[in-house]
Amino acid sequence: MRDLDLPSPKRIILDSHLSLPPNLEIFTDDNKSNTYIVFDENLINSKQVKYFAEIGVQSIPIKLNSDNEIDLKKLIKKLGAEFSITSLMVEGGAKLFSNFVREKLADELHLFIAPKILGNGLHTFSELNFTQMQKAIKLQVNSFEKLGEDIYIIATRAIVSND
């Protein structure tokens, strides 16, 4: 796969308050010109935004939502309209995953299950807070396979009829 002559994917970093150190490798490596940082539009005149422009990192200012977070729906629209980005692979934590699922912005989930038990671990979708099974988000498993000891699942949101 690495021998294919394909363009590098665009890397979109969500950092609403520009709290990430600008010397991170993702901002300084050879692929920095394919790196975009999304932040609160009120920070457009900050030193950090000017620095990113100087080193070739693209800036995407966006209005924050009522929770003081990046409005994911507005971001998706902006990425499509202004940058012709129509597909995303999201890497992140429980809050980001939960927000993409809650906002119905995730078309497909790629999940790995490892045969290990951890106590007090982080929950992948801890921000959803569903406590009743009838309110749970239902998924349709499209495929699964065993990879080493792990199970790899590809699923989409199930279409539920109101019968």
- In this prediction, residues 27-55 reach a mean pLDDT of 94
Percent of the chain with pLDDT over 70: 93
CB atoms within 10 A of CB 128: 17
End-to-end Cα spacing for the chain: 46
Q: What is the pLDDT of residues 54-106, one digit of tens each?
A: 999 999 999 999 999 999 999 999 999 999 998 888 888 888 888 898 898 99
| Burial class of residue 109 (count of CB atoms within 10 Å of its CB; 0-12, 13-18, 19+) | buried
Angstrom CA distances, 25 to 31, 32, 35, 146, stand at 10, 9, 11, 33
Tokens encoding 84: 């012709």
Q: Report how far residue 20's alpha carbon sits from residue 4's, in angstroms, rounded to the nearest whole number.
A: 32
Q: What is the CATH number of domain 91-163?
A: 3.40.430.10
Q: Where in the chain is the domain with CATH 3.40.430.10?
A: 91-163
Tokens encoding 40: 């609160």
Q: Report how far residue 18's alpha carbon sits from residue 16's, in angstroms, rounded to the nearest whole number.
A: 6
Percent of the chain with pLDDT over 90: 58
Residue 122: pLDDT band with limits 50, 70, 90: low
pLDDT at 3 over 70: no
- In this prediction, residues 112-138 reach a mean pLDDT of 81
Of residues 141 and 120, the one with the higher pLDDT is 141
Residue 163's pLDDT is 40
Mean pLDDT, the chain, as a whole number?
Answer: 88
